[in-house]
Each structure stands twice: as C-alpha cells, then as structure tokens.
Amino acid sequence: MRVRVTEDSLEVLLARWEKVLGLMKDIRVPLGDVSDVRLVERPMREAAGSGLKAGLRLPGLRYVARTIRLDRAIVVKRGLPGLAFSVQNHAPLESVLVSTPDAEQLAKRLRSGRATAGGGAQPKG
C-alpha cells in the first residue's frame, strides 16, 4: 500500500492482494474533496472501534476493509501512524483512515494546502 499526493488528488494505492482480500479498490480523491485532515497516533485502536467491517481483518495487525455501510475505508497496519480525512462528493465514502510512515508530514501539508506532486509515497508492503 502507498499513499500518494499529486497536484490534484490524494491516492491510496493498494497492492493486488490487499484489493482482493480487502474487497476494495484504490482510492483517489481530488484534493478539493478532502477535508478534516488529522494525524492519528494509534490507528489500530481507532480501526478496532469503528464498527462492523467487510474485508481483511486481522485485529491488532492489519485492516484493509470498509465499514458495512461502505462509508468508511480503513487501511491500517500495526506500528505505523495514521492519516485520517473526510471525503466529499464520493458517496457512500465519507472518511478514510490509512497508515503511512509519512502521516505527520502529509497531514501538515494537506492542512496547509501545500500538497505537491509525488509526495508521500510509501513502498509496497
């Protein structure tokens, strides 16, 4: 999984196995539709308390899942901070929580509007 910010979008790019086991596809959201960006120090804890999920669920290790209502996407891995954000104009999706080692820097850039092409890439894993 990689999190990438381009000139005009925020992308969560999943590995093939994550797409299959997580019952999800890549997430691409125009930057203008991203709001309420925040850093999540313990994304596994937040993911565990987010209600029923469909997809890959390995509590305490990894989630690649959507809530049953499909309004929330969760792509988190133990040991990494998380980036959470709200999404407009992409119903039913309303929010995303994703782990990335760059979560703090991405949150600062997205909140300040300084998102630039190619930033925040993370190796597959």
Contact assessment for residue 42 and residue 36, using Cβ atoms and an 8 Å cutoff: no
57 bridge partner residues: 63
Cβ atoms of 40 and 72 within 8 Å: the answer is: no
- Its pTM stands at 0.87
pLDDT digits (tens, 9 = 90+) for 79-108: 999 999 999 999 999 999 999 999 999 999
Residue 34 pLDDT grade (very low, low, confident, very high; cuts 50, 70, 90): very high
Length of the chain, in residues? 125
CA distances from 90 to 42, 67, 70, 84, 118 (A): 26, 15, 11, 16, 23
Kindly report which listed range (27-31, 91-95, 114-118) carries the lowest average pLDDT score. 114-118
In the sheet that holds 27-30, the strands lie side by side as 2-5, 9-13, 27-30
**122 has a pLDDT exceeding 70:** no
